[in-house]
Structure 1
Amino acid sequence: MAAQIVFIVILTAAVYLFGKNVAKVRRNILLGRDVDRSDNPAKRWGIMARVALGQSKMVKRPVAAILHILVYVGFVIINIEVLEIMVDGIFGSHRVFAKPLGGFYSMLIGGFEVLALLVLAACVVFLVRRNVIKLKRFSGTEMTAWPKSDANYILITEILLMGAFLTMNASDYKLQLLHFGHYATAGSFPIGAMIAPLLPNSTEALVITERVCWWFHIIGILAFLNYLPYSKHFHILLAFPNIYYSNLNKKGKFTNMDSVTGEVKAMLDPSFVPEGTEISRFGAKDVTDLTWKNLMDAYTCTECGRCTSVCPANITGKLLSPRKIMMDTRDRLTEVGNDIDKHGKDYNDDKSLLDNYISREELWACTTCNACVEACPVNINPLEIITEMRRYVIMEESQAPASLNNMFGNMENNGAPWKYSQSDRLNWALNN
């Protein structure tokens, strides 16, 4: 009974803390401007099924794709057993689903063990890729000590959890063979049976090993759950809604501000009366000027570096890294959220995403080619953030680079980006 009470207290505390942390992330995301992404639900469900469940954009890098699918599918399916562990923990039972499921239970446990071994192996390979081979896309100025450690913490945790799961089953299997206590024959343990000879023969030692691994496994999962909101691995949960709310417009299509569109229409047609739209700011200077979808993108970023690895500006040595844009947005949003918790929603720390986190050199290095958008495995769009910040610099501060100011002047005077007058357009075309 004491063990049951302890388990219920730990479970309740873990669920409460997770809910509290998720609510805070949700609050932070909703600090962004509203944007309608409710159109065409059938198409959105299809994209989510293909990209999130089917991992369709991962397969462009086959080795990483296979390893990721093993970890993703294996970890999700193995954690189905968490339901049984929770029931056992609350009611003091042991493998409560064994009798009702019969032979199917043996097949499940056997499958879980094989998947656990594959997950463990994949995590070891991931660790080697990051820390021994040191793939280039896992490095960069933004990949400081914490981002690198975060990835390693998760991989090591998954290895430990899978190891505890297999050792728990091996101890259970050996106790079943000894017909000890309540360890009645339940399940098939193909991997556990291979580990069992390495364990002690003493029933007391086996029970201790089984119980320690049982507690470590479930507490580790609950701790992992509460670590997610602080980690890049929050994409495990956010990838699905983030992909569902993807931008369905063609890549590169810019959004127009309704207020500006109304003013232009009024200039062209004196009879047109624009709707009274309040203009708070042109473009984005800080995270609260971005849309909630941009902010969800920031929390969903996996820091995998695929976007940066294909960015032509970054490849040619420019300062821009699309991954850094997303990481900076998330860090700034977290800072704003913490300030709200400490000082209230009206607090101003005199900082902004522009300049304090993202430099203007980074913004103007972008070629708007959409390579980063295409490469992201969870449909994140760094380009939207970049263009909104550029819009602020131009429309609010009038601080566009000289080359752009020349183009703007030519557009105004000649109706084209070039310096030639409209009457000379045909001559220019024929000569080129």
Structure 2
Amino acid sequence: MNDVRNSATDGAVACDVLVAGGGPAGSAVGTLLARAGWNVVMLEKSEHPRFHIGESLLPMNMPILERLGVLDKVRAIGVEKRGADFPTEGGNYNVFHFDRALRGSSRYAFQVKREEFDQLLFEHAREAGVDARELTRVTRVAFDAAGRPSSVDATGPEGDYVLRPRLLIDATGRDTLVGGALKLKRRNRQHQSAAVFSHFRGVSRRPGEDAGNITIYRHAHGWMWFIPLREDVMSIGAVCSPEYLKERGGDSEGFLMRTIHSVPEAAERMAASERCADVHATGNYAYECTRMHGPGWLLVGDAYAFVDPMFSSGVFLAMHSAEQAAHAADAALREPAREAAIFGALQKSFDAGLDEFKWFIYRFTTPTMKHLFANPRDFLGVERAVVSMLAGDVFDARPVLWRLRIFRVIYMLAALGSLRDRVFGWLRGGAAVDRVQDTP
């Protein structure tokens, strides 16, 4: 274990890096910085294992897991995922298989029970030399006149104490420790949504090599996920507008089941199922912070931004940001005078990749996107670029990105054509204009 020192003046715990939060982002950044030789303390408010949503990984997670040295351990607890299923008319499925990705990323990913996955990564960080403490909550962060964290108060099984890190990394997820303290957190007004979810047994799976795929169903007020897990468990959730969520009243289970049964193909798969976990609900699903960094602090994973998990990007974005943050933190600790420039470059790079997911997410429920996903064409490699996006290959990926720009043009032209047809139909006294508007 790294040497964690006590300040000679006030007895505070001194360390190079304090990581607040022991989820995938915190454990990943802590592991990598401990390997680089820094004294790292990681505080997790809960005790592993604990329930968490977000069970679907992306192929671009696989190289990160391999670099961390946990790929085989994750394989042992995961269900192999070869692609993503998008149902089409007539009970059929259009399957985007990862082996069609443009740049030959991993051909698979895993679906994992997060309580197992998160515990595995947390214990791995401890083995790497991180002073990893559970049931320990950060209660206060004090900032000096320059905006740098001067002290961090924490409470845990050993009592209350103060830490003085050179660098604070916020990996607290939706708690957004620093974002909340500095009032940086903002709801994403372009895409407001909420979710209700649970686990079920006995849900039918897709046949053959598609048995481990995630299935994305559209419903009238949003979309649903079906994620196969080990031991015949299926994670099922409905993401919907906040207005529709108000209809659940106090009956989350009834609301979830009504939403599932509004889609015949999904209801058919549920025929022999039974719920095996509590029903959870969360609102204000998408948010982001106005800054990713400041003097002596960094935000990683969901502590910085959370987008609608439509394409299973959550864990990948968390771990990618953590890995890149570890490189940036290592460089900044060695060259403090360059800290702002190093962290600024990190945010610029991460934001660019995050925006690729956002563009698709904001438009996914439109009729135009539904049509394009149901009728893919590999014009100039555009379909394979979309598969690459679904695999998570959006960072430093020029061959993918310029083809995604072509897809945007195709979408815009198709959306404008759809709008034209609706307006002309209205002028001719035909069917009413579709209330679901496209977003060019």
Same fold, TM exceeding 0.5?
no
Structure having the larger proportion of residues in strand: 2
TM-score, reference length from structure 1 = 0.29
TM-score for the superposition, normalised by structure 2:
0.29
Look at both structures and tell me which one has the larger radius of gyration over its CA atoms. Answer: 1
